[in-house]
Amino acid sequence: MDALIQVLIIGLANGLIFALVALGYTLVYGIIELINFAHGDVFMLGSMLAYFLIAPTSAGAWGIFPITADTPLPLKIGQILIVLAICMVTMATLNATIERVAYRPLRNAPKLAPLISAIGMSYVLQNIGLVWGGAYQRTIDSVFPSTNLLEPLGITTIAVTPAQVFVGAVTIPLLIALSWFVSRTRQGKAMRATAQDPDTAGLMGVDVNRTIAITFLIGGGLAGAAGVAQLLYNNYTQYQLGFRFGLNSFTAAVLGGIGNLQGAVLGALIIGEVNALSDYYLSPNWTQAIVFGVLIGILVFRPTGLLGQQLADRA
């Protein structure tokens, strides 16, 4: 039982990172019906950038914010916040640039053209990661102590580490902020209108191109934050990370009902748990097959996902 709870906690932390990436997929699909294949690679570049900012120069990185487990807590929090800000802004800019270069010219092309363009973009970004970080896995020493935060409560068989708390502290405020932005602000209303019907939204005075660009900015920013969380929680990054992670997150978005923000978070948490359970009880060799099995199962039997999103003829 303790083992199961422990596995579920690990799955929860990974699921929260998936949620940030899945939101990027679901926002973009909701608004322009494009599976942004390159999104996972934006996340990968985010974690790569975080690696280069944090890892020491002896490892071939820049070492600008040399955070280690021994750094005093206020300084550590400050540095992590700066790294987060840099990665989010850079990845937001990158994502919006990709939209401008690779997707916007294809706005009126047949639907599969932007998808193929996105696949091409995914390979471009993946190879940028390869040129930048090399083919091998780049690891950092954990910046968080491996203490068990539940020990003061007298629980020793189940561990919650500071790294897991950190993941929650990064992702949950972002999820709340995004929800507020989409449902409460004027720009969020423009996004929802564009998602429903871009032509009509344009007629009502919404700048559709600007709204789509902002959607990509937000998605990129969330992917950048997820990249930092991935590096500091799992302590590694690699150029191929985006493909696997991206497919997990896309599965999460579809599971929850693509285009549905709450659904993406719910789906991500479920996919995180599926990953953790399969890794522990079955074998990491089969995890990817199981996630794909889930994806195929949903698309075939319930294309609208758990929380539902009427996609009519598209699916």
Q: Which residues bind other proteins (CB under 8 A)?
A: 33-35, 101-102, 105-106, 108-117, 119-128, 130-131, 243, 247, 250, 254, 283, 285-286, 288-289, 292-293, 295-296, 299-300, 303, 312-315
Question: Least Å distance between CB 99 and other proteins?
Answer: 12
Residue 131 exposed, middle or buried by CB count within 10 Å (0-12, 13-18, 19+): exposed
Question: Least Å distance between CB 143 and other proteins?
Answer: 32
Q: Give the residue ranges of DSSP H helices in 134-260.
A: 162-184, 186-196, 198-203, 208-234, 241-256
**186/285 with CB nearer other proteins:** 285
Rounded to 10°, the helix 2-32/39-54 angle is 120
**116/149 with CB nearer other proteins:** 116
**104/169 with CB nearer other proteins:** 104
- Exposure pattern of 214-239 as b/e (b: 16+ CB <10 Å)? bbbbbbbbbbbbbbbbbbbbbbebbb
Question: Least Å distance between CB 57 and other proteins?
Answer: 20
* Cα–Cα distance, 18 to 3 (Å, whole number): 22
Question: Least Å distance between CB 194 and other proteins?
Answer: 15
**34/228 with CB nearer other proteins:** 34
Question: Least Å distance between CB 103 and other proteins?
Answer: 10
Contacts 24+ apart (CB under 8 A), 186-189: 187/211, 187/214
**58/108 with CB nearer other proteins:** 108
Question: Least Å distance between CB 282 and other proteins?
Answer: 10
**117/275 with CB nearer other proteins:** 117
**Angle made by CA atoms 52, 85, 63, in degrees to the nearest 5:** 25
Per the CB < 8 A criterion, the answer to whether 103 and 112 are in contact is no
